[in-house]
Amino acid sequence: MEPCDFTLEAEEGSLVEPVAVVLPGGQRITFVVVPLTSVRRAWAAHPGGPISRVLTQAELAVSGMHAVVERRMAHLAGRIAAKFALIAHLGAQGHPLEARDLGLTQMMAGPEEGRPVAQLPAGVPACDVSITHSHALALAVVTSGGRVGVDLERVAPRAAAFQEEVFTPVERVWFEHQGRLQGRTPDEMWSLGWCLKEAWVKCTGQGLRAALQQVSFSGWTELGGRDVHLAPLTEGPDAFVRFIHLELSERRETGVTGLVALGQGYALAALHDAREPGAVST
């Protein structure tokens, strides 16, 4: 897939590279990662400059709800990532669009409040989008069939109390075993486990209104994906990337597919639910 003409990055000579993957279920999803440094620099230089070529005035205004500048930069970076993921995803389906042709809002009320919504021109297939930001990176995922949820976290020490609060006994045994099997640290595995749960509650739209102990799974089946490159996350020699089929307790009959990754001090999980027909877009 061609890199997007992301002016913020292009000025520094590195374009945002959308990454399209086909999940084992056959569903195509598109990722875009945006480093916060580029957004911070562009904002400091001229808030109305390059960023306003990507985001609409309404989107810039919404970002102003974040009083803390760093939180606002993360929000903007997530929206920019989502726009470029939408452009790349739809462009690959024969719908060439510019950033300003698309809108991004969120559910304003109800059980899925906060969930991002793509506003697309008439005649363009509906797309579902999910956004995450952590530390120095923002990341968005898009699909045009079913729903997606994504979560990125910095790998950090996780106390025993955290493990007990978030994970069921079955999950704790599973992650300890996987950590040994894959040669990954306990902190990496707990972080990845947290990402999986957050990705799922974003996919459903519940968010953290859901009790994470009730969002439970019995494990995953690996389905390849070692050759997926999601720069900068997978750039190091110790990167771990896999397609998975996640066996969710609430979805015993079908489960969901997705991608998990560890690298550069981050954990990432992206999940796709093919059973949900309605992409959240207008």
Ligand X SMILES: CC(C)(COP(=O)(O)OP(=O)(O)OC[C@H]1O[C@@H](n2cnc3c(N)ncnc32)[C@H](O)[C@@H]1OP(=O)(O)O)[C@@H](O)C(=O)NCCC(=O)NCCS
Which residues are near ligand X by CB under 6 A? 75, 78, 106, 112-116, 130-133, 151, 198, 201-202, 205, 207-209
CB of 224 vs ligand X, minimal distance in Å = 26
**Closer to ligand X by Cβ: residue 12 or 113:** 113
CA distance 188 to 211: 22
**Closer to ligand X by Cβ: residue 3 or 47:** 47
**Closer to ligand X by Cβ: residue 114 or 277:** 114
- Residue 102 · residue 119 · CB < 8 Å: yes
> Is the CA virtual torsion 200, 229, 85, 264 positive or negative?
positive
CB of 180 vs ligand X, minimal distance in Å = 27
CB of 164 vs ligand X, minimal distance in Å = 19
**Closer to ligand X by Cβ: residue 113 or 165:** 113
H-run or E-run covering 261: strand 256-263
CB of 154 vs ligand X, minimal distance in Å = 11
**Closer to ligand X by Cβ: residue 21 or 82:** 82
**Closer to ligand X by Cβ: residue 106 or 185:** 106
CB of 131 vs ligand X, minimal distance in Å = 4
- Residue 231 · residue 33 · CB < 8 Å: yes
103-106/28-35 β-pairing: unpaired
CB of 194 vs ligand X, minimal distance in Å = 9
**Closer to ligand X by Cβ: residue 122 or 161:** 161
For residue 195, give both structure tokens: 């990402």
The interaxial angle of helices 69-91 and 36-45, nearest 10 deg, is 110
Residue 83 backbone dihedrals phi, psi, to 5 degrees:
-60, -45
* Sheet strand arrangement including 217-222: 147-154, 266-273, 256-263, 240-248, 217-222
Beta-bridged to residue 222, according to DSSP, are 244
CA distance 153 to 270: 12
What beta strand segments (E) does 36-112 contain? 103-106
CB of 198 vs ligand X, minimal distance in Å = 5
